Structure 1
């Protein structure tokens, strides 16, 4: 069990006192903001009375949202650093409650804006030129007008939000609280219960019997409860299809993508391009089989590492390496990386009660903090540069945009972070000289590509199919879902569904199927990042400058226009084709190393 936070070095903890100097300051702001929201409620019904009212209510809405974000960030990060502290649990609950109060207070905003005609808007602009600062903000609202309902209908939908979320919440409780997986015997002869937390670790075991036992134990439970999981997933699909119809969208996919103003052609282009390049994945799967020396590769053999190289980095070494690698972006970027690494933006070490995993957080008026749970591994070096990518994207955006545009679309969120990862891969491949280390870096990249571009697109294709099936009146029974998933899995990996019967239940354990057309963005983001990293490392100064312009743009334009500033047209497949070209080049190099005898156990 890890210790509490008292043992941590101060310089390896984040400095949340830069947000609120004391907890009492936070409490005072919470109280003041709550009163301000009470007063703000009186603006309902007055948004379009005059150009002045539109301006002042818009500015009030944004000012209170800005204060709210800062309040929420402090509470959530204080809670994340040690979830066992009841006081910070309480602050988190209070922050969540005031978020709900804010949403309720300004529920009038969009329905009232819906009644603004283009002619009246132009009149308002001439009367109050200050409104032009919010032109893109308003333009997005205009574009969504046909999908905004009357205030009464909006209130009905908002009131039903808990009911609409019930399928997802039921899945979460069933999957994380109620389900108990069987125990197996690990490689050391210990009896261990399979859990969501240790499943991938067990699947990475060098002992094939352990991998098989963990895999069969996991999926035996999903087989047992397949009908319940099918019901929660079917209900979630029906909810999103219903909401899409209610808001006059052709489909749930169109509704989900329209939140970021992404045309469905981007999604379709991804599916077409990945399907075209599936032979590359089949090649990598065959190479994996050769390296592992197996006659019958199974799905439970896809996660065990192929490399025996033990690449270790202390946190101090990782900071130095990250700073060196990211210097490719130039002085402006490097200065901010140094600030992040030296001014206590990062909470580094694991401690008792600390939230697991890693993330980049913060709000418009705070540093772009990072949470880590550091381990001295190659994976964590990649995690550090990944989260630094998020934090630098946030920093450049906030420095260069007003609050109204001081964030970026979810569609773009993974590109800056994954570009950094790809640049790190390029750098490591350039400097490593021994074949064994080179093998490890190539394997890390190819596995990352497999898990992000190929696997997430497989999920996206399944998701599209089940929503379409429901629209067409198909009942999403477990039998239907099992058959669909098994066939897709066979197409992607080239491993027969008959030889891998358990994989048909994998759909039941994927929480992202409750996120409503979210997963495709992992694949498009990784591919765009691969394309951009290549331009930054091998291209001109103009390529780097355009990339920084993208980081600075925030949400001042539509997401596709913003990423176009960096030189990527995501409505076409060029960036995807370029990413697959890099994958093939590195796969070919790994094949050559295997032919030389550089493989597992060497």
Structure 2
């Protein structure tokens, strides 16, 4: 529920100091940043001197890796500071310049260290194994084992050079889609609920889909998809080219499939992907019940695809001031124990968070930072439930980074994408559990349940449907079939029929939805939203039911960073994503929330 913003936003200088983050803890002055910038340049020159020498001795390789770490650490600080200063006010030319310089330096750094992995892999296997077992390299064992693991998929130096040169060509489908989708496509103007003209845009589309006026939703839905339909041949050719690119790389690197190639980067078994799809399909009856409830609560004879986003509970005045949000997040996360809450209080009190919107500030929310200082969180806080959960979410990321940085060396502090959403979503689940227990007003409770059900629908069901679509289209190309607009529309329609069930009218327009999803150009990525949400939901249930033993396992997971493969880290925390159980457990929570919503709906 988006509140209207005040007519003019305050300037950065007008925001109270206690509501701003303190970036001075990264660099006390811009001059200190400048000195570090020059230091990176020196380290880049030092790094280059190691080229051709890594195989001489374990000591030599250890020296090179120490410089590699120093470089990464210094570069991270330089880039993060410049970019976060710019995010405070994008119109500030000083920090525009610093960000540009940091980006250029980062490219130079990538080039300077590009010899490292090929040179390590160029060693004979026996020699590399002796190096890995040596005392000098004991701190780098997992790092080197991980490089070695992918050796069979790394080609000769000359072949790798050719593949690197083809990189820009490989980006073409994604770049072309980006140009069509962001620059060339123009959506029509429709009438809003007041009869005023409004042009559909990417940014406005979701707001229009949440509009209480059904005619507005229908007009926005049809206007959007009619526009994509006009480009269907081009968009099908672009997606087809992207899938062919994925298949080409998988084959060149000797993988059995594009799916196996994409998952191997994080050492994720293909079973994780297929089990997710199977578990969600087995639990589609709960989704169909949700659709039936939505139809009933909206009071419509037919439920259409453009009725999916409008809140089932009419406008509820659910204001949450920032000070109240901090208090609720602390209470909601109390099951994680005193130590966790103490760090959280410190974060709230000591300049980790940039709270309010101001002129020129980057929109949205994120958690970021550099190794060696605490993480930072950017918000644009509005006094509503959505922003309350955003605070809990971003603090989950921040606490994950805090614990990783505190307990891991720089090389292993960064956690992988596969687990990146676990801590943030676990926080949201714990907060939701607390909010449902303490909210007595039945309409507010309904609003919360609606919010939670939508998260499940959007993150587990919808992203898994996307993941299944990706799997099917890659398998078709691997079997030598072409992806025509008709083929893509037919596959996509079939999935919508299966996932949404008998109470949903599957409008012909939705057949084109595949054409507007940017993630399809980043192969086999979206499934991680569903697995991360499932793992987080399962972990939050364990924390609430088991207490201390589950909390200890969970905190150990937060402290592990990237020191092991993501699937192993989650296994130690208490969820085995190679099995369907965590997804099934999460969907049982969904079914329980649905039960509660159905009961409340009967009473109102």
TM-score range, shorter chain: over 0.9
Q: Which of 272, 282, 285 is matched with 2:278 structurally?
A: 272
Q: Is contact 1:486–1:497 with CA below 8 Å preserved after alignment?
A: no
Instruction: Report the equivalent of 1:113.
Output: 120
Q: Deviations over 1:91-149 (max 9, x none)?
A: 222222222212211111111111334532443356x4131111111111111111122
Measured after TM superposition, the shift of residue 344 of structure 1 is 1.1
Residue 252 (structure 1) aligned with residue 258 (structure 2):
yes
Q: Deviations over 1:484-524 (max 9, x none)?
A: 11111111112699850110111111111112211000001
Cα distance in 1 for partners of 2:496, 2:294 equals 17
Measure, in 1, the Cα distance between the counterparts of 2:516 and 2:503. Answer: 21
Identify which of 136, 154, 160 aligns with 2:142.
136
TM-score normalised according to structure 2 size: 0.96
| Structure 2 residue matching 1:365: 3-state secondary structure | coil
Does 1:339 pair with 2:346?
yes
Partner of residue 427, structure 1: 434
State the secondary structure of the residue aligned to 1:457: helix
1:407-418 pair list within 5 angstroms: 407-418=414-425
8 Å contact from structure 2 (residues 332, 432) kept in 1? no
8 Å CA contact retained: 1:244, 1:255: yes
Give the aligned partner of residue 286 of structure 1: 292
| 1:345-389 per-position Cα deviation (integer Å, ceiling 9, x unaligned) | 111111222222111111212321111111111011010000000
Kept in 2: contact 1:489–1:497 (CA 8 A): no
| CA contact 2:318–2:384 (8 Å) conserved in 1 | yes
- Does 2:65 correspond to 1:58? yes
Q: In structure 2, which of residues 302, 306, 310 is the aligned counterpart of residue 300 of structure 1?
A: 306
Matched, 1:235 2:235: no
Which region of structure 1 is more displaced relative to structure 2, 190-199 or 225-234? 225-234
1:155 aligns to what?
161
Asked whether the 8 Å contact 2:288–2:503 carries over to 1, the reply is: no
Aligned 8 A contact 2:305 2:505 in 1 = no
Distance change (3 Å), C-alpha of 1:496 and 1:543: closer
Using a 3 Å threshold, how does the CA distance of structure 1 residues 306 and 498 change in structure 2: closer, same or farther?
Answer: closer
Q: In the alignment, which residue of structure 1 is the partner of 2:397? A: 390
Report 1:84-483 matches (<5 A). 84-124=91-131, 128-308=134-314, 309-483=316-490
- What secondary structure is seen at the aligned counterpart in 2 of 1:198? helix
1:2-21 equivalent positions in 2, closer than 5 A: 2-21=9-28
Who is 2:533 aligned against? 526
- Matched residues in 2 for 1:19 and 1:453: separation? 37
Distance in structure 1 (CA, Å) of the matches to 2:497 and 2:260? 28
CA contact (8 A) 1:110 1:148 kept: no
Q: Is the 8 A contact 2:377 2:398 kept in 1?
A: yes
Contact persistence 2:85–2:95 (CA under 8 A): yes
Structure 2 residue ranges without an equivalent (≥5) = 1-7
| Partner SS for 1:486 | helix
Equivalent-residue separation in structure 2 for 1:135 and 1:149 (angstroms): 23
Aligned-pair distance for 1:543? 0.7
8 Å Cα contact 1:487-1:497 kept in structure 2: no
Number of aligned residue pairs: give it: 596
Query: How many Å separate the matches in 1 of 2:15 and 2:264?
Result: 45
Distance (Å, rounded) in 2 between the aligned partners of 1:158 and 1:28:
33
Does the 8 Å CA contact 2:88/2:361 hold for their aligned counterparts? yes
Determine helix, strand or coil for the equivalent of 1:192. strand
Cα distance in 2 for residues equivalent to 1:414 and 1:302: 24
Whole-angstrom CA distance in 2 between matches of 1:158 and 1:87: 34
The answer to whether the 8 A contact 2:335-2:547 is kept is no
Change (3 A) 1:86 1:252: farther
- Taking only aligned residues, the RMSD between alpha carbons, in angstroms, comes to 1.6
Unaligned segments of structure 1, at least 5 residues: none
CA distance in 1, matches of 2:168, 2:125: 35
Asked whether the equivalents of residues 70 and 365 of structure 1 are also in contact (C-alpha less than 8 Å), the reply is no
Cα deviation for residue 583 of structure 1 reads: 0.9
Instruction: State the match for 2:3 in structure 1.
Output: none
1: CA distance, partners of 2:229 / 2:241: 19
For residues 10 and 166 of structure 2, the distance between their equivalents in structure 1, rounded to whole angstroms, comes to: 43
Structure 2: distance between partners of 1:332 and 1:343: 17
Distance change in 2, residues 1:293/1:496 (3 Å): closer
Residue 502 (str. 1) matches residue 509 (str. 2) = yes
Q: Deviations over 1:221-278 (max 9, x none)?
A: 1111122222222222122221222222122211111111101100000000001111
Partner of residue 581, structure 1: 588
Give the counterpart of 2:497 among 473, 490, 498: 490
1:537 corresponds to: 544
> Is residue 78–residue 88 contact of structure 1 (8 Å, CA) maintained in 2?
yes
Partner SS, residue 197 of structure 1: helix
Q: What TM-score, normalized by structure 1, do the two folds share? A: 0.96
- Counterpart CA distance in 1 for 2:130 and 2:271 is 36
Is the 2:496–2:506 Cα contact (8 Å) retained in structure 1?
no
Query: In structure 2, how many angstroms separate the alpha carbons of the residues matched to 1:130 and 1:39?
Result: 20
